[in-house]
Amino acid sequence: MTETAPLRWRDTTPTQRRTLAAAGLGWMLDAYDVMLYSLVLATLIREFGMSKETAGLLNTLTLVASAIGSVVIGILADRYGRRRMLSLSILIYSLATFACGLSPTIFILAIFRFVLGLGMGGEWNSGAALVAETWPGKWRGRALGIVQSSWAVGYALAAITAGIVLAHANWRWVFFVGVFPALVALWVQHGVPEPEVWKRQIGARARHVLAEQRGIWRRHGRNLIVLLAMNTFGMFAWWGLFTWIPAYLELPLAQGGRGFNLLGTTWFLLALNLVGMLPGYLLFGVLADRYGRKRSLVIYLVAAALLVPWLALARRPIMILVAACLVAFFGTGFFTGSGIVGSELFPTAIRATALGASYNVARGLSALAPLVIGTVGQTHGLSGAFLLCGIAFALAAGSAALLPETQGTEIF
């Protein structure tokens, strides 16, 4: 156990606060735009007559695109700056979300969801690198915990938006509202500075970086593979569960759902995010700074694996809610650890690219989760399909146990 320094805002610098706000807003609005699809999924199934397999495939395409976007934008962020790529990513996913509302067919909707994924993939690694390189090690876990927790806020805002809009208009307007994050991209571009460590190590030596990177990648290859495995298994479980939970709640009992109405689903998802995901993200940062990154990761992932069967077997609404919130707490909160460990494992020259490879390539590798859960759910029910997510969380815990402890690492 390590004695942790209290995080007091008056002791932080304006630059640290601006970078935290930029990364947090970018991640919050990423969640807002991406999760709108899951929140209108039951409506889209009725509107287009989609099967569960097709509905899952559309989300799979988004995740595959996020892997591509993370690699491309990660490389650009290491070369041209975190701030520029963060604002570009926000702009891409905002405009693509608006375009989803214009889709006349499933095929066109799939194209726009793919473009949205490109921006979604690039946002996370740019923002995480920006914060990691600006905040000191004694507060880094909590700072990245705050950034990660903004996903839950974005998801909750998406649930509110979908609930209000669907009560007064059709599903297209849910996506039209998703264009507003584009305004944040303008502020990021003009109000947030590049980290000094990036400017020192990259800006002054740009001609030599590519040659140096080859040796750096060789030295860090094993850690990248282990972190990628943990994220892949964890994301399979997460996307398998949380892509389908809104539809699982709303679909009729005869179709393997729970028969919730729109208002009930909206309140359920608000509780899931604000009582489950949000404190899970924030507490992980505190625990990681106090007890270590690796131990916290293993505990969170084991707990998630053990709790998924309870969620799958729950039938009473209150039991479904409690189980879902606990799974969200542990099964979502561990992602804070991925950002902390990834930022501390890899040096500045490859940090954004490595974060993208370990996190968003995992999204691509786990992209079959919505399709697999939808396919299994078609024949065995979604509650039965959710058990696969528990197995995936257990495999993620095993991978986390192979990671080195990075607590106390200084950014270089």
Lowest mean pLDDT among 148-162, 202-216, 366-380: 202-216
Whole-number pLDDT of residue 375:
82
**Counted domains in the chain:** 1
In a domain, 407, yes or no: no
Question: For residues 122 and 220, which has the higher predicted lDDT (pLDDT)?
Answer: 122
Mean pLDDT along residues 117-132: 81
In a domain, 411, yes or no: no
In a domain, 8, yes or no: no
Whole-number pLDDT of residue 351:
76
In a domain, 412, yes or no: no
Confidence of residue 76 (pLDDT cuts 50, 70, 90): confident
Question: For residues 234 and 155, which has the higher predicted lDDT (pLDDT)?
Answer: 234
In a domain, 206, yes or no: yes
Q: What is the pTM of this model?
A: 0.71
- Domain containing 113 — which CATH number? 1.20.1250.20
In a domain, 368, yes or no: yes
Q: pLDDT tens-digit profile of 187-241?
A: 776 777 777 777 776 655 554 555 555 666 677 778 889 999 999 999 999 988 8
Three-state secondary structure string covering the chain? CCCCCCCCHHHCCHHHHHHHHHHHHHHHHHHHHHHHHHHCHHHHHHHHCCCHHHHHHHHHHHHHHHHHHHHHHHHHHHHHCHHHHHHHHHHHHHHHHHHHCCCCCHHHHHHHHHHHHHHHHHHHHHHHHHHHCCCCHHHHHHHHHHHHHHHHHHHHHHHHHHHHHHHHCCHHHHHHHCCCCHHHHHHHHHHCCCCHHHHHHCHHHHHHHHHHHHHHHHHHHHHHHHHHHHHHHHHHHHHHHHCCHHHHHHCCHHHCCCCCCHHHHHHHHHHHHHHHHHHHHHHHHHHHHHHCHHHHHHHHHHHHHHHHHHHHHCCCHHHHHHHHHHHHHHHHHHHHHHHHHHHHHCCHHHHHHHHHHHHHHHHHHCCHHHHHHHHHHHHHCHHHHCHHHHHHHHHHHHHHCCCCCCCCCCCC
Confidence of residue 399 (pLDDT cuts 50, 70, 90): very high
Whole-number pLDDT of residue 261:
67
Whether 26 shows a pLDDT value over 90: the answer reads: no
In a domain, 388, yes or no: yes
Domain containing residue 317:
15-400
In a domain, 410, yes or no: no
| Highest mean pLDDT, choosing among 115-124, 244-253, 275-284 | 275-284
Lowest mean pLDDT among 130-144, 184-198, 307-321: 184-198
> How close are the terminal C-alpha atoms of the chain, in Å?
24
Confidence of residue 262 (pLDDT cuts 50, 70, 90): low
Mean pLDDT along residues 285-307: 91
Name the average pLDDT for the chain.
Answer: 80
